[in-house]
Structure 1
Amino acid sequence: MNPSKRGTPDFILLALTILLVGFGILMVFSASSPRAAHLLDDPLYFTKRQIIWAILGTICMLFLMNIHYTRWKKWFVPFFFGCVILLLLVLTRDPVNGARSWLSIGNFGIQPSEFVKLATILYMAALIEKKGEAFRDLKKGLMPVVVIVGVVTGLIMLQPDFGTAMVFVMTTAIVIIAGGAHLKHIMVGASLAAVCSFILINLYLLITDGNDYRFQRIATYLDPWHDPLGSGYNIIHSMYAFGHGGLTGAGFGQSIEKLFYLPFPYTDFIFSIIGEELGLIGTLLFLLTYLALLWRGIIVALRCPDLFGSVVGVGIVSLLAIQALINIGGVSNAIPMTGVTLPFISYGGSSLLASMISMGILLSISREVNRIGK
């Protein structure tokens, strides 16, 4: 493998990424402008900030696309431990809305948990490649990886950010499977995790007497109309949005639910606004575009000639897919709501920047795939 000789990037993957980011900016403008105009006297307030993050993300993506991905075998160390330090710093901050997830940098905020997901994927991929066949050994191979995942998950849970923790655990589980872990170890680990989760949930129920908002979300998922003006309010209005959109949609900018019915319609509930304004047809076209990007990404990952690049590629695609699935499932009430953003689309600089950095690395992998294919 010669880093000096590079193939061309996967332009379909690049074009799909830019298309989704551009669409996300349009939807942030549509979903946020009424609230921004009313509260901040600037209808473009959130849109301008999202554009700034999109420009920064594009620069990072194009830069990393031209850096050979194998360099991350050395770079993952400062990247990972830097993210862990930021996660520790977050815990020293005062809670905002019951959570400590952000660090303020001037007028902007950064969410370290968005970046630690990618850093851990790189760390795990490097460790898996280094161990080789020894990764199939429980003590020497799998356990060190599980410890890393456990420590990071614990730090995210302390914020607390259970939605991000769920995305993180599911993604790392796929990375472990893609890395070639022994199936028996995976099954035993999954069984132990299920038992421990059951015990912890029941202990938590006893401590909180079942009044924690996380369990209220499960009750709301089962019956939103039990408390339509309280815990069920958000999901009921999200479903109203989809209903109002119908087959062809109310039209771009014509959403009713964004007019102070849905809270923060430009972040967690932006998919609801897509459904309302573009309808079923527009929503399906959007989902097909998303699926095309994920499919193209998994092809790149599977065709990568080395284990490190392949595992990193699978991890990045899994991360985007799981986060999108949890967001879409939550706002459509297919699963309990968790407060996870929709990658490339939802308002939020950390999410957008982390996603575009991930795509830069995936595009770098695609250059090696195309070089080998020539």
Structure 2
Amino acid sequence: MKLKIRGRPDFSLFFLTLLLVGFGLIMIFSASYPAAFIKHDSPWHYVMKQGVFALTGLFVMLIFMCIPFSVWKKASPILLTFSLVMLVLVLIGGADINGARRWFVLGGFNLQPSEFSKLTVIVYLSAIISRKGERIRNFRNGLLPIILVIGTILLLIMRQPDFGTVLILFFIAVTILWVGDVDLRHMLLLSMALVPMFVYLAVSKSYRLDRISAFLNPLDDLQGSGYQLTQSLYALGNGGLTGTGIGQGVQKLFYLPEAHTDFIFAVVGEELGFVGTFMLFVVFFLFIWRGFITAIRSSDPFGLMLGMGIVMMVFIQFLLNVGSVIGSLPITGVPLPFISYGGSSLILCLASTGILLSISRDNHRRRQENSRNSTK
């Protein structure tokens, strides 16, 4: 029996991923060592934990890279069921941290089910739309069942609450539905119906109103709602053109909250300056570009939607995080992909990249087959 040889992965995408993860570890150490030393008597505490997450995520990425991406289409019902169960269980028995139930605490590590629901939604939408084909343009039998499933997931996540993840899932869903050729009239009506809900969610909690107020007028409450953004802007301003140097930043010394998590980009800006942040932008957009090329080259509609969903997931998280840090968007608590401290986010990003690399292997194999056939 002749074995089916798979193509090689997109090595540009592979090395860009390694570059982002390696840079993230460096910046996490720089941003976290003061807090790690005070809280845990070791400046290496957070970076060592993130190193474990990185090795785990890279291992998962390599496994997923070797699994044909079509497997996920068959596994989508199992993934969806598992994700729904986890989202329910975290509301019942999850740890209450800062007024939110988003995490399971297991052996000193926090597992966040809503992070993995992002990949679940991508796989589920890509699978069901590719199966429905032209039927997806029928609202009652095509789009409505999908809305009910995704709506259930969003409601469970809002109960935690986690507004940032809800926004990300919304943009992911819109992207996949658009690529899947859903009737644009249906999408427009759905979007218009969701606007009042998002407005209500934004103003229904006092801390969200504080974030919007801080976004609009951060200097009005320097010691309150505007404190975090103000300290972030101080860090970026202090960095200037070339920065203070890695490890030499000031704002992470207990001035800037969440310096090694949601606001690590501010530390990058202070210590590496405009040059460093610009180079980080370049690497991210090269990653997104290679992911986009991988997705559109797929001859399988499932592969196309799966790849585009993953690319959108990384892009929108990057946009929301950086926008929050520089004051262009309200603070949402979204981590910077591959860079921010956090195991769930990093493992999710690396697992998703593994699927992208699997799609790129299929693309390369198909090009090789076409090339051989054209020479016969």
**Quick check: TM above 0.5?**
yes
How far residue 372 of structure 1 moved from its aligned partner, in angstroms, is 1.5
1:266 pairs, out of 260, 276, 284, with: 260
Match of 1:89 in 2: 89
Q: What aligned pairs does 1:303-314 form with structure 2 within 5 A after superposition?
A: 303-314=297-308
Alignment of 1:221 with 2:222, yes or no, is no
Alignment of 1:106 with 2:107, yes or no, is yes
Q: Is the 8 A contact 1:330 1:338 kept in 2?
A: yes
Local SS of the residue matching 2:97: coil
Local SS of the residue matching 2:105: strand
Alignment of 1:297 with 2:281, yes or no, is no
Match of 1:45 in 2: 45
How far residue 3 of structure 1 moved from its aligned partner, in angstroms, is 8.9
1:334 pairs, out of 328, 331, 342, with: 328
Alignment of 1:169 with 2:163, yes or no, is no
Q: Is the 8 A contact 1:3 1:68 kept in 2?
A: no
How far residue 248 of structure 1 moved from its aligned partner, in angstroms, is 0.5
2:246 pairs, out of 249, 252, 267, with: 252
Shift in CA distance, 317/259, structure 1 to aligned 2, threshold 3 Å: same
Q: What aligned pairs does 1:22-41 form with structure 2 within 5 A after superposition?
A: 22-41=22-41
Shift in CA distance, 259/76, structure 1 to aligned 2, threshold 3 Å: same
Amino acid corresponding to residue 261 of structure 2 in structure 1: T
Is there any run of 5+ residues in structure 2 with no aligned partner, and where?
Answer: 369-376
Separation in structure 1 between the aligned mates of residue 324 and residue 213 of structure 2, nearest angstrom:
13
Match of 1:121 in 2: 122
1:333-374 CA deviation, whole Å, 9 max, x = no partner?
001111110110000000000110000001000001111222
How far residue 94 of structure 1 moved from its aligned partner, in angstroms, is 4.9
How far residue 277 of structure 1 moved from its aligned partner, in angstroms, is 0.4
How far residue 327 of structure 1 moved from its aligned partner, in angstroms, is 0.4
How far residue 28 of structure 1 moved from its aligned partner, in angstroms, is 0.4
Aligned residues: 366
1:147-188 CA deviation, whole Å, 9 max, x = no partner?
111111001000001111111111111111111101111111
Match of 1:147 in 2: 148
Is there any run of 5+ residues in structure 1 with no aligned partner, and where?
Answer: none
2:337 pairs, out of 334, 340, 343, with: 343
1:187-212 CA deviation, whole Å, 9 max, x = no partner?
111111124444x359x65xx6xxx1
Separation in structure 1 between the aligned mates of residue 189 and residue 166 of structure 2, nearest angstrom:
21
Q: Is the 8 A contact 1:265 1:273 kept in 2?
A: yes
| Cα-Cα RMSD | 1.4
Match of 1:13 in 2: 13
Separation in structure 2 between the aligned mates of residue 353 and residue 106 of structure 1, nearest angstrom:
17
Separation in structure 2 between the aligned mates of residue 316 and residue 196 of structure 1, nearest angstrom:
25
Separation in structure 1 between the aligned mates of residue 152 and residue 220 of structure 2, nearest angstrom:
38
How far residue 80 of structure 1 moved from its aligned partner, in angstroms, is 2.0
Amino acid corresponding to residue 177 of structure 1 in structure 2: W
Shift in CA distance, 77/111, structure 1 to aligned 2, threshold 3 Å: same
Worse overlay, 358-367 or 166-175:
166-175
How far residue 136 of structure 1 moved from its aligned partner, in angstroms, is 1.0
How far residue 240 of structure 1 moved from its aligned partner, in angstroms, is 0.3
Shift in CA distance, 160/196, structure 1 to aligned 2, threshold 3 Å: closer
Separation in structure 2 between the aligned mates of residue 327 and residue 197 of structure 1, nearest angstrom:
19
Separation in structure 2 between the aligned mates of residue 184 and residue 107 of structure 1, nearest angstrom:
48
Local SS of the residue matching 1:5: coil
Q: What aligned pairs does 1:318-333 form with structure 2 within 5 A after superposition?
A: 318-333=312-327
Separation in structure 2 between the aligned mates of residue 294 and residue 140 of structure 1, nearest angstrom:
34
Identity %: 44
Match of 2:236 in 1: 242
Match of 2:224 in 1: 230
Local SS of the residue matching 1:95: strand
